[in-house]
Amino acid sequence: MEPKDKPIQDLAEEHGADAAMVRELLATLRERAGADYFYVFWTAGGAMQAPSARRERILLAFQTPDAALTFAQRNHLHDANRPRLRRLELIQLVGAALRAPTIVAILFVGDEDHPALPAGHLPSGVRVARDELIQSLHIRR
């Protein structure tokens, strides 16, 4: 097994999927989203919520760090002065969405600037629902 196959095999085993299906899903997402790596702006929000509160979220994945920071600053997100960006591979994004039922979708955002986009609005991009990921991998929930 090559080193690049281990994360695929691990994700497949974790969710009871076939490794070939994981590879196929990643290839499809790469084609749709246009990249292998994306940047996610991490915020410290949510600590004030009650443990029983279940707020659905969309995971925003940007092709460049500049696009992620611009969005975060425009929306006055927590820690905007001390941004915490993480560079994640497609498989890491898929894994996060599969592990966290509160993540209902991943929105892959291109590098284009959205200067007219008002705060509080999501940029355009390729939206992939968590349910679509589950169906693609034939995972029983």
pLDDT tens-place string over residues 62-120: 999 888 888 887 887 765 456 688 999 999 999 999 999 999 999 999 866 566 677 77
Taking the model in full, what pTM does it have? 0.84
Domain positions in the chain are: 5-43+55-136
Sign (positive or negative) of CA dihedral 21, 123, 64, 43: negative
Percent of the chain with pLDDT over 90: 57
Residue with the bigger pLDDT between 129 and 139: it is: 129
Unique residue bearing structure tokens 């509080």: 120
Helix (H) or strand (E) holding 10: helix 5-15
SS3 82: coil
